[in-house]
Structure 1
Amino acid sequence: MENLGYYCGSYGLIEDMKIPMNDRVCYFGDGVYDATYTANHMIFALDEHVDRFFRSAEQLNISVSFSKCELKKLLQDMVNKVDSPEQFLYWQVTRGTAIRNHAFPEPDIPSNLWIMIKPGGIKDIYQKFKLITVEDTRFFHCNIKTLNLLPNVIAKQKAVEAGCDEAVFHRGDRVTECAHSNISIINNGVLRTAPLDNLILPGITRGHLLDFCRENKIPVDESPFSLNDLMGADEVIVTSAGALCIAASEIDGISVGGKAPELLNILQQSALKKFQQDTCYNSCF
């Protein structure tokens, strides 16, 4: 089987799955999601992604009708059913199925769990990204991994049309994050990344990057940085579950980075090691 879908207990090929029209996702995007990758049928950073998923649901008052352990077992069982050892694993929960109404449905309506698996692996960590900058016009709850991603979709499409890999959001002069990644910079031997406030997603791989810095005694500065800081940085680093730790070589057509290859290499090697360790064994299953 090349891909697999799941909806509230039903399994099937993704293209054959059917979703009720009254699932609140259809009208309101009323739900949260998370995603990661697998290798050797092992799930990368599973505990951290599941923890963030439950945090996001709690922040939107979505009552999840399953435990973290039940979800992790279900995800692993589904990963085992798909032939490809390298997979993109996605899951989301919505507030439930009810007649369209802006107000929440009755609390006894169960939430709906979706899972999707398709073949896919992480990107080549040593490639160089081309980026563009885009004004960040999203709402002020970017720390919640909601399904309301239209601004991110538009920004990513602008990047594609410009022949680039990712779009960097900024609010005025402050750099926040990318359309579907976090962004950090290295300057004068210090890694700088935006603080964990309501303007950025608390990226799992971003957290790993900070751990790698501490392990290697690389100073970290979690404070806002500007577009000028971004353009003048020694290195510009994009992180996500699929990209891990990829450096940028160009932003808005201007060459950037390439001035701290030793530090960059330390972080990239650490990211690869972390991925390989997570996906070579998993003591939970």
Structure 2
Amino acid sequence: MKTLGYYNGKFGELEEMSIPMNDRVCWFGDGVYDAGPCRNYKIFAIDEHIDRFFNSAGLLDIEMPVTKQELKELLQEMVQKMDTGDLFVYYQVTRGTGIRNHVFPEGKANLWIMLKPDTVDAGDKPIKLITTPDTRFFHCNIKTLNLIPSVMAAEKAKKAGADETVLYRPGKRVTECAHSNCHIIKDGKLITAPTDNLILPGIGRAHLIRMCKKLEIPVSETPYTLEEMFAADEILVTSSSKLCLCADELDGKPVGGKATELVNKLRQALLKEYMDATE
């Protein structure tokens, strides 16, 4: 199959799938999701993603309809049905189905899965960034379906001819990007925002930190500002499908380019980790 969808036990091409109008996603966006890349029919970092998925659901009191192992087996079963093994694997749960009511319905969540062909960005070309205030709520550590601020920020980047939007809070504290984590390198040290309730604990972020420690690159998980980002030796952007991108422009101004050797070392090591795990 070229694409594949799943909803509570039903399979089909994505354009063939449908959902009940009373699924709470329609009224409230009431659910959580996770996603990651697959290569050679092997889903990368699947256990880490599923752990985060279940944690997001637990923080919102969503009753999962499957166990972690059952979900892992279902995802792998679906991957094997695809024409290509290079995929983007997306899954979400919504709180249930019922007449619109803010109060939770009883019962288990609805499980959705979506597979489509995709590949990981090798990160060999620099990207352009813009900035915008972070207007999201204070539960950014939960990977919810409420993504309107991120959608608007991503559209703003597109219209500006940029690749991503850096979000910042009052005081110009940098949090993350519209759909990525961001980091800076200064004086040979990686600085990344702490995993509080203002950012998503990204899987790509975790792999970047672990790789830095493996390569004996110091890591500081502390808040930093836009001013520090502009003055950084390098600006990095990571996500599950963009392992390590480097920016050369921020709000139309040139940035980075002062620690190219270190960035290439990190990028190549992360790409090798991904390739080896999905060989």
TM-score, normalising length: structure 1: 0.96
Q: Find the aligned partners of 2:214 and 2:267 in 1 and give their Cα distance.
A: 13
2:88–2:118 contact (8 Å) kept in structure 1: yes
RMSD, aligned CA: 0.7
Partner of 1:226: 225
1:262-277 correspondence to structure 2 within 5 Å? 262-277=261-276
Q: Find the aligned partners of 1:92 and 1:253 in 2 and give their Cα distance.
A: 36
Runs of at least 5 residues in structure 1 that lack an aligned partner in the other structure: 281-285
Partner of 2:69: 69
**Is the aligned partner of 1:83 residue 2:67?**
no
Partner of 1:58: 58
Partner of 2:211: 212
**Is the aligned partner of 1:203 residue 2:194?**
no
Q: Find the aligned partners of 1:272 and 1:5 in 2 and give their Cα distance.
A: 28
Q: Find the aligned partners of 1:112 and 1:234 in 2 and give their Cα distance.
A: 45
2:122–2:243 contact (8 Å) kept in structure 1: no
Larger displacement relative to structure 2 (270-279 or 177-186):
270-279
Pick aligned residue for 1:142 from 124, 130, 140: 140
**Is the aligned partner of 1:256 residue 2:255?**
yes
Specify the SS of the correspondent of 1:25.
helix
Q: Find the aligned partners of 1:36 and 1:19 in 2 and give their Cα distance.
A: 23
Partner of 2:165: 167
Q: Deviations over 1:219-258 (max 9, x none)?
A: 1111000001101100000000111000001010000001
AA aligned opposite 2:124: Y
Specify the SS of the correspondent of 2:131.
strand
Partner of 1:283: none
AA aligned opposite 2:2: E
Specify the SS of the correspondent of 2:34.
strand
AA aligned opposite 1:80: Q
Q: Deviations over 1:249-282 (max 9, x none)?
A: 10100000010012111210121012112212xx
Specify the SS of the correspondent of 2:80.
helix
Offset of residue 73 of structure 1: 0.5
**Is the aligned partner of 1:192 residue 2:191?**
yes
Q: Find the aligned partners of 1:279 and 1:99 in 2 and give their Cα distance.
A: 44
Runs ≥4 residues deviating over 4 A: none
Partner of 1:180: 179
Q: Find the aligned partners of 2:275 and 2:267 in 1 and give their Cα distance.
A: 12
Q: Find the aligned partners of 1:94 and 1:216 in 2 and give their Cα distance.
A: 40
Partner of 2:121: 123
Offset of residue 110 of structure 1: 2.2
Q: Find the aligned partners of 1:170 and 1:45 in 2 and give their Cα distance.
A: 29
Offset of residue 34 of structure 1: 0.3
Q: Find the aligned partners of 2:87 and 2:4 in 1 and give their Cα distance.
A: 11
Offset of residue 70 of structure 1: 0.3
**Is the aligned partner of 1:24 residue 2:24?**
yes
**Is the aligned partner of 1:235 residue 2:238?**
no
Pick aligned residue for 1:114 from 101, 112, 115: 112
AA aligned opposite 2:273: K
Alignment: residue pair count: 278
Q: Find the aligned partners of 2:273 and 2:122 in 1 and give their Cα distance.
A: 15
Offset of residue 124 of structure 1: 2.9
Runs of at least 5 residues in structure 2 that lack an aligned partner in the other structure: none
Q: Find the aligned partners of 1:133 and 1:43 in 2 and give their Cα distance.
A: 32
TM-score, normalising length: structure 2: 0.98
Identity %: 58
Partner of 2:49: 49
Q: Find the aligned partners of 1:176 and 1:5 in 2 and give their Cα distance.
A: 33
Q: Deviations over 1:20-40 (max 9, x none)?
A: 000001100110000001110
